Amino acid sequence: MIPRIYIPGDSGALALGAEKVAKAIAGELAERGIDAKIVRNGSRGAYFLEPMVEVATANGRVAYGPVKPSDVKSLFDGGFLTGGHHKRWLGSPDKIPFFAKQTRLTFARCGVTDPLSLESYKKHGGLNGLTNALALTPADIVAQVTESGLRGRGGAGFPTGIKWKTVLDTAGDRKYIVCNADEGDSGTFADRMIMEGDPFVLIEGMTIAGIATGATKGFVYVRSEYPHAVAVMNKAVEVARKAGVLGASVLGSPYAFDMEIRVGAGAYVCGEETALLDSLEGKRGMVRAKPPLPAHKGLFGKPTVINNVISLASVPVIMDKGAAYYKDFGMGRSRGTIPIQIAGNVKYAGLFEAAFGMTLGEIVDEIGGGTATGRPVKAVQVGGPLGAYFPRALFDTPFDYEAFAAKDGLIGHAGIVVFDDTADMLKQARFAMEFCAIESCGKCTPCRIGSTRGVETIDRIVAGIEPEKNLALVTDLCNTMKFGSLCALGGFTPYPVMSSITHFPDDFKPAPVRVAAE
Ligand SMILES: Cc1cc2nc3c(=O)[nH]c(=O)nc-3n(C[C@H](O)[C@H](O)[C@H](O)COP(=O)(O)O)c2cc1C
Ligand code: SF4
């Protein structure tokens, strides 16, 4: 058997030099006259170990990382093709603590398989979910998804099965499945990783959604900043079509389903489902008033399921192993697993899939290893730019939709961004307002005008102009935005602003006092 070498083609790994490592390994193989197969896999998500190179040995996979091109010669000299020791040797990937502690359901294959090999996908359990779904009625598939407790991973946490049932029950000559791959939240990369590392799981999930609801066409709306994901998804759709997974007869069944990949143009608000639909229809991305719900009147006015990548990619494992299996993980009303994306000023950045219920402190201190700078953690923003900043005092909050909401926070797309004690929370609050002002679609006044007034008012606090009065004004403005905005961009911007004011009051003291305190 010729040796197999796995070198991630994931864009995170590429950014860390994976392409140069791949070239160096190919060059060394040629020079030494060794016949080996290089597989460009996805990333397993431990970015602090990327580029992580793996070799398949008689005793299973052996990993090395982070590998630099300058390591390649000595890796060969040390016999890495048979798992030989080297300073970059990590041993079996499954035993590396960052992976060993995870519960990989949605990401089970990511970083393990060849992303564009349908054979490799099937060998690792791929298409079992779709095959099972084809043996059920659409209503039974919807019931399974409802029973699993799966909630939307895009941010709002709405039960996926209920959304699907609405589309199933709505009459329409045409229905659509739209996958939201805009992934605009800061510190998030789960959607990108799955599209680059295991694209067939998304295709399988969307196909199941189509069969369950009567939709025959799907669209994946991918942000333009993800060219690698777009390329992999396009190729995977072609492979799936050729193999009869997509097309007029899905896996030889009477069901038809096909899909296309569409690229956005770089607006945060186009991640909001109705603005996304406008954008997909070729219009400027503006938020639509609800009702009608997209499930009743969505893309081109037809009943539409719109789900996040991770929601859809979690469906195959549910249909493969059963709703009860999936539901068994988690806590409270947050069932199953969640791919937590640990980013910012953190030692061990990466994607960590776990059952709901770990505390924020466990995630930041134990899994993330604290800050990369070695300084104390000051704040953690959970849930993207509209998420609250949590201080260490809230680190006992379990990762659960309701627990976060009870502390005026949100889980969102499960991205967490860590800040050390040099962070200035006044600046972060100003940034939240500024971000909202830049990204606002402009449809409603509290968001369009309020965010601009918010920046001006915070600037007055910075300048020491009537700080107490202006702080009260910011609070008042936040209430107006929270309750008066049409969508969550204006409605949730108060979360980062108010959490900064509430948990870090010292950062909002008038300038002379702050200087004196320092
Ligand atoms: C301003 C704004 C941006 C959003 N961005 C995203 C996004 O990038 N990806 C996403 O899946 N959902 C995003 N959402 C949530 C979507 O509106 C919607 O709830 C989601 O796509 C539904 O899918 P789910 O039920 O599977 O989570 C955003 C919402 C708002 C208000
Ligand atoms: S809250 Fe902001 S982004 Fe949302 S509809 Fe209103 S103006 Fe548009």
The pLDDT, as a whole number, for residue 517 is 46
The pLDDT, as a whole number, for residue 257 is 98
Instruction: Tell me the per-residue pLDDT of 436-478, one tens digit each, with 9 for 90 and over.
Output: 999 999 999 999 999 999 999 999 999 999 999 999 999 999 9
**Proximal ligand: closest to the CA of 306:** 1
**Proximal ligand: closest to the CA of 450:** 2
Task: Provide the pLDDT confidence category of residue 509 given band limits of 50, 70 and 90.
Answer: confident
Mutating to test ligand 1, I would choose from 145, 219, 221, 273 the residue with most ligand atoms within 8 A of its C-beta, which is 273
| Nearest to 11, CA basis, from 194, 264, 166, 255 | 194
Residue 513 clears pLDDT 90, i.e. is over it = no
Residue 518 clears pLDDT 60, i.e. is over it = no
263 — phi, psi (to 5°)? -110, 130
Please report the atom of ligand 1 found closest to the CA of residue 488.
31
Residue nearest to atom 2 of ligand 1 (CA): 272
Residue 426 clears pLDDT 70, i.e. is over it = yes
- What 235-242 contacts at long range (C-beta under 8 Å, 24+ apart), as own/partner pairs, is 235/116, 235/199, 236/115, 236/116, 236/199, 236/200, 236/203, 237/203, 237/261, 239/116, 239/118, 239/200, 240/118, 240/200, 240/203
Please report the atom of ligand 1 found closest to the CA of residue 182.
8
Tokens standing for residue 360: 């924020």
Instruction: Tell me the per-residue pLDDT of 33-87, one tens digit each, with 9 for 90 and over.
Output: 999 999 999 999 999 999 999 999 999 999 999 999 999 999 999 999 999 999 9
Query: Alpha helices of 124-254 — where are they, by DSSP H?
Result: 128-134, 138-148, 160-169, 190-197, 199-213, 227-242
Please report the atom of ligand 1 found closest to the CA of residue 223.
8
Judging by DSSP bridges, how do beta strands 217-222 and 258-263 pair with one another? parallel
Residue 516 clears pLDDT 50, i.e. is over it = no
C-alpha 209 chain-centroid distance:
19
| Nearest to 48, CA basis, from 98, 114, 111 | 98
Instruction: Tell me the per-residue pLDDT of 121-144, one tens digit each, with 9 for 90 and over.
Output: 999 999 999 999 999 999 999 999
The pLDDT, as a whole number, for residue 166 is 98
Query: Alpha helices of 463-507 — where are they, by DSSP H?
Result: 467-484, 488-492, 494-503
First to last CA, the chain: 66
With a 6 Å cutoff on the Cβ, whether 437 touches ligand 2 is: no
C-alpha 103 chain-centroid distance:
16
DSSP state of 359: B
With a 6 Å cutoff on the Cβ, whether 440 touches ligand 2 is: yes
What is the 180 CA–ligand 1 centroid distance (Å)? 7
pLDDT over 70 percentage in the chain: 98
pLDDT over 90 percentage in the chain: 97
Rounded CA separation 393/389 (Å): 11
Task: Give the number of other Cβ atoms within 10 Å of residue 129's Cβ.
Answer: 24
Average pLDDT, integer, range 400-421: 97
Task: Give the number of other Cβ atoms within 10 Å of residue 171's Cβ.
Answer: 8
Q: pTM of the prediction?
A: 0.96
Rounded CA separation 466/475 (Å): 14
Tokens standing for residue 150: 């799966």
Residue 258 clears pLDDT 80, i.e. is over it = yes
The pLDDT, as a whole number, for residue 451 is 97
With a 6 Å cutoff on the Cβ, whether 485 touches ligand 2 is: yes
The pLDDT, as a whole number, for residue 512 is 55
With a 6 Å cutoff on the Cβ, whether 403 touches ligand 2 is: no
Instruction: Tell me the per-residue pLDDT of 197-243, one tens digit each, with 9 for 90 and over.
Output: 999 999 999 999 999 999 999 999 999 999 999 999 999 999 999 99
Instruction: Tell me the per-residue pLDDT of 358-406, one tens digit each, with 9 for 90 and over.
Output: 999 999 999 999 999 999 999 999 999 999 999 999 999 999 999 999 9
Task: Give the number of other Cβ atoms within 10 Å of residue 413's Cβ.
Answer: 30
Residue nearest to atom 6 of ligand 2 (CA): 444
Please report the atom of ligand 2 found closest to the CA of residue 481.
1
Report the SS3 class of residue 186: coil
- In this structure, are residues 435 and 389 in contact, taking their beta carbons and an 8 Å threshold? no
HEC string of 240-289 equals HHHCCCCECCHHHCCCCEEEEEEECCCCHHHHCHHHHHHHHCCCCCCCCC
| Nearest to 56, CA basis, from 48, 64, 65 | 64
Mean pLDDT, the chain, integer: 96
Average pLDDT, integer, range 156-165: 97
Task: Provide the pLDDT confidence category of residue 511 given band limits of 50, 70 and 90.
Answer: low
With a 6 Å cutoff on the Cβ, whether 447 touches ligand 2 is: yes
Rounded CA separation 434/450 (Å): 10
